């Protein structure tokens, strides 16, 4: 940190009376001003996790705990809808992988029949013994290969499908298999058959699909919410999830007739559609609660005007859901049942670790995102969506020593989407920001100055150890500055020498934390009077004269304000205004009798310091 030499005026020190510096006043001695150039990180604080549209899973949980029924909860998040029975397909195809090159399959509890299917018929080729693990892969000539350890046990089936049939009839005591799952380690599957088909012979890659004999059995393996919610007052939330999951899966199944081209399936087993974890979901702790939720809502779906709806859902919202057209995840067309609704419940739900969150990036990184600005000094959110996502940012900063101002928006006119996309991991489709619903953007450490025109100055004052917050996260920029603390801030900023030992100018400051600073300023001729009264509020006019005496800047002929005419400190007010140390309170007013606020104090000190860099 650098220090810059600044003039300090010592005027007539007779009987404690100190005159305002004249136009020709010269400093009696020189001292140093603390000089720092903060480059603070930018902190984004928000609430919620996910795309913020439709049903909130944690919100549903909190509503269930409050006694709401599952139908009521569904109708809250999906407005204008009906909850009723629908017709179900005989099977549903779940895409586990679209380009797998090898897959291990372990037979548990019985044998697995490996069948080759094509042309409407299937032929069993080999049986895998119980307890063994076989590997299936694809040769460049299109034939499948099965190996037990390193030993080949079968090959063939070029141009056809290879099926591992372990429980096609959904027997309760049927054989199970352990195989690949996209949501973690190998999973156990109990219902249906595993099917492999050729994707690319050149790459040796295969489609891997689990064909399940009913949508209800598919739902038993849906791993979207904790089963334990059922044991903690959230049974209705499990029913909400089962119904939403059923509706979502059925709508996709019908849209592709169970044969989506990119996976040869009805839907994917990943969170891109719905996270499917197989039989492990049923057997986990509290899994029986989830199975009951599925069974007790069997065939129930959500419709709008008689048609299945898109039951979009995500973990939690930031107090409200978003209109579907305002989310990063979806298109630009409104959907009547996917509009913004209140959701304070997701912020209250037990276990929601994303009820509030914060992420920080460097000043340079954020400046690069904004564009056209160097060091960022202020970020103000301008406008929000119905769900609370910022629409625009008004950003001020310094570029090549010049003050600049720019506005940043984003896709659909929503900068929150641009931020979510900017700070992401494209390869995984994830973002460092849990949600686009950003509540605050600012500099650390304080929360109550975000977006304030004084925020950068507050960072300066904190880092320079001139001013502290009232707590670790609150600065209270609107709180009035008392005269004693105002003296202390000036003392710290200008590094004014202490008064000689034993020199005590006032009785009213005895024992005050700022007594040393008060005596130093009095000895330097900056403050005056017989009784200082440190507990009184510091007026703007008094701060102006203190700065005038400290800096010794010349008087000016220009009259900057209308409301200080004839004021005894008018000359000092105009002098510091001419240098940019202080600004008015609006229009051509200075408000000389108004108390100095903490935010204004920080900005005044920074402006003075920057003048002498």
Residues 560-609: pLDDT tens digits? Answer: 999 999 999 999 999 999 999 999 999 899 999 999 999 999 999 999 99
Question: How many angstroms separate the CA atoms of 155 and 114, rounded?
Answer: 11
The more confident residue out of 1 and 103 is 103
Tokens of 455: 């925020």
Q: Does pLDDT of 524 surpass 50?
A: yes
Q: Own/partner pairs for 73-78, CB < 8 Å, 24+ apart? A: 73/236, 73/237, 73/240, 74/240, 74/243, 74/244, 74/302, 76/341, 77/313, 77/321, 77/341, 77/343, 78/54, 78/302, 78/304, 78/309, 78/311, 78/337, 78/338
Return all residues near 148 (Cβ < 8 A) that are at least 6 apart.
132, 133, 134
DSSP 316: B
pLDDT digits (tens, 9 = 90+) for 128-150: 999 999 999 999 999 999 999 99
Q: Give the model's pLDDT for residue 6.
A: 44
Q: Give the model's pLDDT for residue 201.
A: 87
Average per-residue pLDDT for the chain: 92
When pLDDT is averaged across residues 428-435 and rounded to a whole number, the result is 74
- The band of 611, judged by pLDDT with boundaries at 50, 70 and 90, is confident
Q: Give the model's pLDDT for residue 175.
A: 87
When pLDDT is averaged across residues 161-181 and rounded to a whole number, the result is 88
pLDDT digits (tens, 9 = 90+) for 276-328: 999 999 999 999 999 999 999 999 999 999 999 999 999 999 999 999 999 99
Q: Does pLDDT of 379 surpass 70?
A: yes
Q: Give the model's pLDDT for residue 22.
A: 44
Tokens of 2: 């650098």
CB atoms within 10 A of CB 42: 22
Question: How many angstroms separate the CA atoms of 135 and 208, rounded?
Answer: 13
Q: Give the model's pLDDT for residue 494.
A: 87
Q: Give the model's pLDDT for residue 426.
A: 53
Nearest to 5 by CA among 26, 25, 31, 28: 31
Side-chain-side CA neighbours of residue 436 (13 Å): 34
Tokens of 108: 């548990």
Question: How many angstroms separate the CA atoms of 275 and 183, rounded?
Answer: 7
| Sequence-ordered alpha helix ranges (H) in 156-274 | 215-220, 235-256
Tokens of 136: 């299936």
Q: Give the model's pLDDT for residue 429.
A: 53
Q: Give the model's pLDDT for residue 34.
A: 62
CB atoms within 10 A of CB 511: 5
When pLDDT is averaged across residues 98-112 and rounded to a whole number, the result is 94
Task: Report the percentage of the chain scoring pLDDT > 70.
Answer: 93
Strand 267-268 vs strand 92-100: parallel, antiparallel, or unpaired? parallel
Q: Give the model's pLDDT for residue 528.
A: 87
Q: Give the model's pLDDT for residue 275.
A: 96
Q: Give the model's pLDDT for residue 153.
A: 97
CB 582 within 8 A of CB 576: yes
Q: Give the model's pLDDT for residue 11.
A: 36
Nearest to 446 by CA among 40, 16, 67: 40
């Amino acid at each position: 940190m650098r220090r810059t030499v600044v003039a300090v005026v010592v005027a007539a020190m007779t009987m404690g009376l100190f005159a305002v510096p004249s136009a020709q006043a010269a400093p009696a001695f020189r001292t140093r001003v603390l000089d720092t150039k903060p480059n603070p990180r930018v902190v984004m604080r928000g609430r919620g996790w996910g795309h913020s549209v439709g049903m909130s899973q944690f919100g549903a949980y909190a509503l269930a705990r409050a006694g709401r029924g599952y139908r009521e909860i569904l109708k809250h998040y999906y407005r204008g809808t009906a909850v009723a029975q629908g017709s179900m397909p005989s099977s549903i195809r779940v895409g586990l992988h679209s380009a797998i090159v090898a897959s291990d399959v372990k037979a548990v509890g019985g044998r697995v029949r490996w069948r080759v299917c094509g042309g409407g018929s299937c032929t069993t080729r080999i049986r895998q013994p119980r307890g063994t693990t076989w590997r299936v892969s694809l040769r460049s000539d299109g034939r499948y290969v099965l190996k037990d350890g390193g030993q080949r046990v079968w090959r063939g089936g070029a141009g056809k499908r290879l099926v591992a049939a372990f429980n096609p009839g959904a027997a309760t005591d049927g054989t199970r298999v352990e195989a690949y799952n996209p949501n973690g380690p190998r999973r156990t599957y109990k219902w249906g058959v595993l099917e492999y088909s050729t994707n690319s012979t050149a790459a040796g890659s295969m489609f891997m699909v689990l064909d399940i004999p009913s949508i209800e059995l598919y739902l038993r393996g849906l791993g979207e919410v904790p089963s334990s919610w059922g044991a903690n007052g959230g049974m209705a939330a499990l029913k909400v999830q089962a119904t939403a999951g059923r509706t979502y899966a059925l709508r996709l199944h019908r849209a592709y007739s169970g044969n989506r081209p990119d996976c040869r399936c009805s839907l994917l087993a990943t969170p891109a559609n719905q996270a499917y974890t197989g039989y492990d979901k049923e057997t986990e702790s509290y899994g029986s609660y989830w199975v009951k939720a599925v069974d007790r809502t069997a065939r129930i779906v959500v419709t709008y005007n008689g048609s299945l709806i898109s039951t979009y859902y995500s973990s939690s919202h930031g107090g409200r859901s978003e209109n579907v057209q305002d989310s990063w995840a979806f298109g630009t067309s409104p959907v009547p049942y996917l509009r913004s609704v209140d959701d304070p419940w997701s912020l209250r739900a037990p276990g929601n670790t994303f009820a509030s969150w914060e992420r920080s990036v460097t000043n340079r990184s954020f400046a690069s995102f904004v564009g056209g600005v160097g060091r960022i000094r202020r970020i103000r959110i301008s406008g929000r969506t119905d769900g609370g996502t910022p629409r625009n940012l008004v950003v001020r900063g310094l570029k090549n020593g010049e003050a600049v101002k720019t506005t940043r928006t984003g896709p659909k006119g929503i900068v929150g989407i641009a931020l979510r996309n900017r700070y992401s991991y494209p390869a995984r489709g994830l973002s460092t920001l849990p949600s686009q619903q950003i509540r605050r953007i600012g500099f650390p450490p304080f929360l109550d100055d975000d977006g304030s025109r004084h925020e950068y100055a507050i960072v300066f004052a904190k880092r320079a150890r001139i001013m502290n917050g009232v707590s670790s996260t609150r600065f209270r920029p609107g709180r009035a500055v008392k005269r004693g603390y105002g003296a202390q801030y000036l003392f710290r900023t200008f590094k004014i020498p202490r008064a000689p030992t034993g020199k005590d100018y006032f009785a009213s400051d005895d024992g005050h934390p700022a007594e040393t600073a008060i005596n130093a300023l009095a000895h330097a001729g900056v403050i005056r009077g017989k009784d200082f009264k440190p507990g009184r509020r510091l007026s703007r006019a008094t701060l102006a004269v203190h700065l005038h005496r400290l800096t010794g800047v010349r008087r000016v002929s220009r009259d900057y304000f209308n409301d200080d005419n004839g004021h005894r400190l008018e000359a000092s007010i105009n002098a510091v205004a001419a240098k940019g140390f202080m600004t008015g309170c609006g229009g051509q007013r200075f408000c000389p009798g108004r108390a100095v606020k903490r935010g204004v104090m920080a900005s005044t000190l920074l402006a003075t310091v920057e003048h002498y860099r």
